[in-house]
Amino acid sequence: MDLQYHGGNAISLNYKGARIVIDDNLTDLGAKSFTKADDVSLFTNAVHPDSPARLVFDKPGEYEVSEISITGIPARSHMEEGNDKSVTIFKLMAGDVSMLITGHIYPELTDAELEAIGLVDVLIVPVGGNGYTLDPVGALKVIKEIEPKIVIPTHYDDKSLKYPVPQQELTNALKELAMEPKETLNKLKVKSAEFSDVTQLIVLEKV
């Protein structure tokens, strides 16, 4: 499994010739979409730009694409009050590696959500905060609840993007997380044999 970061909350996953694109809403942020016609596109929020992908999933459910198992778990949005669940957490299984994309969720996960999430190897979590998404405090709550092998932060300050709400700089967010990056990479090749017993934070450079 290869992972790359494209800005905002957008991640791409390559596995056995298939590419899954997650949260490519870059056109809403003043940038160019990177999704192609033969991609599979996931959106953690049902409100999103049109996608040219051959398949688009933006709701809870169970899906199977090119030997990748995808589970959409309903969750409460960071901005929501009450118990409404308008966003989707996606868990992907590719071979023996599991990945979770939270999107802009409320940081207090329920027992039912945690049971549905189960064991997670790679956690993709926003850290930009300022009322728009998880801040480092909320992100840390999610990390401690899920206990992944690897954490990849997303949705932090980026001068090339026009966020509706200013986002924290990554360096400041990491200080609040109290986590030192193990590596900064252009592409992460995820191999279960290389997992540590301690949660590691990896920063992906935007491509």
Quick one: pLDDT band at residue 83, thresholds 50, 70, 90? confident
Q: What is the pLDDT of residue 80?
A: 73
Sheet holding 40-42, edge to edge: 55-57, 40-42, 18-22, 10-15, 2-7, 188-189
Q: What is the pLDDT of residue 79?
A: 77
Beta partners for residue 204, in sequence order: 185
Distance CA 131, CA 114 (A): 23
Q: What is the pLDDT of residue 85?
A: 87
Question: Span 24-48, mean pLDDT?
Answer: 97
Coil vs helix vs strand at 98: strand
In the chain, the percentage of residues whose pLDDT exceeds 70 is: 99
pLDDT digits (tens, 9 = 90+) for 119-151: 999 999 999 999 899 999 999 999 999 999 999
pLDDT digits (tens, 9 = 90+) for 94-128: 999 999 999 999 999 999 999 999 999 999 999 99
Distance CA 75, CA 106 (A): 8
Quick one: pLDDT band at residue 84, thresholds 50, 70, 90? confident
| Length of the chain, in residues | 207
The domain ranges of the chain are 59-204
Question: Span 3-28, mean pLDDT?
Answer: 97
pTM above 0.85, yes or no: yes
Residues 6 or more apart from 197 whose CB is under 8 A from it? none
Domain 59-204 sits in which CATH superfamily? Answer: Ribonuclease Z/Hydroxyacylglutathione hydrolase-like (3.60.15.10)
Q: What angle do CA 23, 26, 88 make, to 5 degrees?
A: 20
Q: How many CB atoms lie within 10 A of CB 137?
A: 12
Distance of CA 125 to the CA centre of its chain: 5
Report the half-sphere exposure of 169 (CA within 13 A, side-chain side).
Answer: 4
- What amino acid is encoded at 202 in this protein? I
Q: Is the pLDDT of residue 175 over 80?
A: yes
Coil vs helix vs strand at 152: strand
Quick one: pLDDT band at residue 3, thresholds 50, 70, 90? very high
